[in-house]
């Protein structure tokens, strides 16, 4: 893609933040949409310190726009700027997960996303965006160039292929500063900067967990007479929807959420959820096996759609191999409820192995206790089920469900949306 974009010279940037100030003075945004990120912030001796001024790169393939469930993003034709329409934004934050450059930011006052709009009125008039105009060293320029994919940005993990309008004017030289005498006194460690971006959010934990249980109950009822009736399942299936509203900056705009079903996994999730609720309510009136099967089917589809929302994680464990993903959890919970031994043993083995893998990844991280509790809950409850003791006594039931809830919490603890800061720290 040809076009104009930001051209950045690392040798010239000294982190003076004039670009940020120019942006806020020009646009009166209520939050700083531009930031300067520092590579080797802790000044490890073996590496050079450098900075990158970054806001939105107005990508050729904008992940924010593609993922936005409410189609709040538009591309300005005159300037190719990717702009958010704050009137349409739900405040769901999904774009903040998708963007690898942290361009969209949640404005806690307005409760919607704010982001760089490339000063598109200025740019359309032939002027420069305020940031590039203001840079007092000339490190940040805005000019015409052939867009490459992000491999052209050496500080970022390569190969997103999303055609960011950002390029480095010359290859980055990583010549460390030679310090004389060498500085050996009490270095700060490079570590200890984790959890920058962990998105553990209670409403999301409860939304996905209640959806998992609702879906598991449809399976339970399909295979067993002991399962709850259609009315209970229908009412239960409303719970996740209500909870999910709490996570939105603008809950009243929730109706827009399925608007981008073609591109947005989040829109698909909401659509699947609506389908699932509809199927359950249909069951109230048409309680035939085929409709019950339809409800089971929509439940499983819903879980797959929930899991795919979290596809882009830079956490230690891959989303699809995570013990806390909803699909496997629902199968386990359903087989636990039905008491069907072989399916239960099969899913427990999968769960156990995934959990142990997770524990290994998080060994001596300070959070391993929660993994132990989670494993203990699974072992205790499955042991009591397998030995036939006291099933279906309430304590076992509670221990089991607590274990599954912990697993979902672990899933979020490990969920790191892509972020430029995380990329820099890992480079």
Partner 1 sequence: MDEFITVCPRNCYSTCTFKVQVENNTIRRILPYSGNRATPEGPCIKGLSYIERSSSPARIINPLIRTSRGTFEKIPKAEALDIVSSKLSSLKEKYGPHSILWYRGSGMSGLTNEIGSAFWKAFGGATTTYGNLCWPAGLEAVRLTLGTVKHNVPWDLPNARTIIIWGKNPAETNIQEVPFIAEARRSGARIVSIDPLRTPTADKSDILYRIKPGTDAALALAISRILIDNNLIDKVFIEKYVRGYEQFRHSLTITPGEAEKITGIPENEINRLAQIIGTGAPVTFLPGYGLQRHLNGGQTIRCILALAVLTGNIGKPGAGFNYANLQSYVFDTIKEPESYYPDNETDIPFRRSLSMAGLGKDMLKIKDPELKGALVERGNPFLQSPDSTLVKQAFRNLEFKVVIDQFMTDTAESADIILPAKNMFEQSDIVGSYWSPYVQFKPKVLEPPDNVIPESEIYYELSERLGLKIPAEQIPLPGNENIEHWLEKRINGYTQLRLDDLRNGPVPAPGLQEIAFSDLNFKTRSGKIELFSEEAKEKWKVLALPEYVPIVYGSYSEKYPLVLLTPNAGNRIHSQFGNLEVIKENSDKPAVLFSAADATRRKIYDGCRIRLFNDRGEIFSTAKISERIPEGTVVLYNGIWLNEGGGGNFLIEGRMTDMGYGSAFHDNRVEAEQAVL
Residue ranges that bind partner 1, judged by CB under 8 A? 9, 11-12, 14-18, 20-22, 24-26, 32, 42-43, 48-49, 133-138, 175, 177-181, 183, 185-188
Which one-letter DSSP state was computed for residue 255?
Answer: G
The Cα–Cα gap between 182 and 180 comes to 5
The Cα–Cα gap between 128 and 116 comes to 14
Rounded least distance, CB 425 to partner 1, Å: 16
The Cα–Cα gap between 274 and 268 comes to 10
Rounded least distance, CB 24 to partner 1, Å: 6
Task: Name which of 11 and 158 has its Cβ closer to partner 1.
Answer: 11
Q: Phi/psi of residue 424, each to 5°?
A: -65, -40
SS3 106: strand
Rounded least distance, CB 156 to partner 1, Å: 21
As given in the structure block, the two tokens for residue 263 are 């591109």
SS3 38: strand
Rounded least distance, CB 6 to partner 1, Å: 15
Task: Name which of 59 and 128 has its Cβ closer to partner 1.
Answer: 128
Rounded alpha-carbon distances, angstroms, from residue 422 to 7, 223, 228, 418: 22, 45, 45, 7
On the question of a cis peptide bond just before residue 284, with omega within 30 degrees of 0, the verdict is no
Q: Phi/psi of residue 285, each to 5°?
A: -100, -30
Task: Name which of 146 and 170 has its Cβ closer to partner 1.
Answer: 170
DSSP string for residues in 303-357 = HHHHHHHT-SB-SSS-GGG-TT-HHHHHHHHHHHHHT-HHHHHHHHHHHHHHHHH
Q: Residue by residue, what is the 3-state secondary structure of 40-70?
A: CCCCCCCCCCEEEEECCCCCCCCHHHHHCCC
Task: Name which of 18 and 84 has its Cβ closer to partner 1.
Answer: 18
Residues in the chain: 427
Task: Name which of 136 and 392 has its Cβ closer to partner 1.
Answer: 136
CB 94 within 8 A of CB 308: no
Rounded least distance, CB 110 to partner 1, Å: 17
Task: Name which of 66 and 174 has its Cβ closer to partner 1.
Answer: 174
Rounded least distance, CB 191 to partner 1, Å: 15
Task: Name which of 138 and 161 has its Cβ closer to partner 1.
Answer: 138
Rounded least distance, CB 142 to partner 1, Å: 13
Rounded least distance, CB 43 to partner 1, Å: 4
Task: Name which of 107 and 414 has its Cβ closer to partner 1.
Answer: 107
């Amino acid at each position: 893609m040809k076009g104009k974009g930001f051209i950045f010279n690392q040798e010239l940037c000294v982190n003076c933040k004039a670009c940020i100030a120019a942006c806020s003075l020009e646009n009166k945004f209520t939050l700083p949409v531009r930031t300067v990120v520092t590579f080797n912030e802790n000044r490890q001796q073996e590496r050079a310190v450098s900075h990158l001024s970054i806001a939105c790169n107005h990508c050729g393939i904008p992940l924010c726009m593609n993922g936005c469930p409410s189609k709040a993003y538009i591309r300005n034709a005159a300037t190719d700027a990717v702009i958010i329409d704050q009137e349409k934004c739900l405040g769901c934050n999904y774009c903040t997960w998708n963007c690898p450059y942290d361009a969209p930011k949640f404005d806690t006052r307005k409760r919607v996303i704010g982001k760089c709009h490339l000063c598109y009125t200025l740019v359309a008039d032939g002027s420069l965006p305020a940031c590039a105009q203001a840079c007092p060293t000339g490190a940040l320029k805005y000019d015409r160039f052939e867009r490459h994919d992000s491999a052209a940005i050496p500080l970022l993990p390569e190969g997103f292929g999303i055609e960011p309008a950002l390029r480095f004017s010359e290859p980055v030289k990583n010549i460390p500063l030679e310090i004389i005498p060498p500085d050996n006194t009490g270095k700060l460690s490079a570590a200890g900067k984790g959890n920058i971006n962990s998105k553990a959010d209670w409403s999301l934990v409860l939304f996905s967990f209640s959806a998992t249980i609702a879906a598991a109950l449809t399976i339970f009822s399909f295979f067993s007479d002991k399962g709850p009736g259609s009315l209970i399942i229908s009412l239960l299936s409303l719970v996740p929807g209500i909870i999910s509203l709490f996570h939105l900056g603008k809950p009243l705009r929730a109706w827009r959420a399925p608007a981008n079903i073609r591109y947005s996994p989040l829109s698909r999730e909401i659509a699947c959820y609506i389908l699932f609720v509809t199927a359950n309510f249909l069951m109230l009136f048409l309680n035939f096996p085929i409709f019950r099967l339809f409800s089971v089917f929509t439940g499983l589809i819903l879980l797959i759609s929930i899991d795919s929302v979290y596809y882009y994680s830079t956490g230690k464990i891959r989303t699809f191999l995570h013990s806390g993903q909803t699909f496997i959890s629902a199968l386990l919970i359903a087989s636990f409820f039905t008491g069907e031994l072989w399916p239960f043993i099969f899913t427990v083995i999968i769960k156990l192995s995934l959990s142990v893998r997770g524990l290994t990844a998080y060994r001596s991280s300070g959070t391993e206790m929660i993994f132990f509790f989670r494993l203990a809950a699974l072992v205790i409850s499955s042991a009591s089920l397998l030995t036939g003791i006291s099933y279906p006594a309430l304590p076992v039931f509670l221990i089991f469900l607590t274990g599954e809830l912990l697993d979902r919490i672990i899933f979020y603890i490990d969920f790191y949306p892509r972020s430029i800061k995380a990329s820099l720290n890992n480079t």
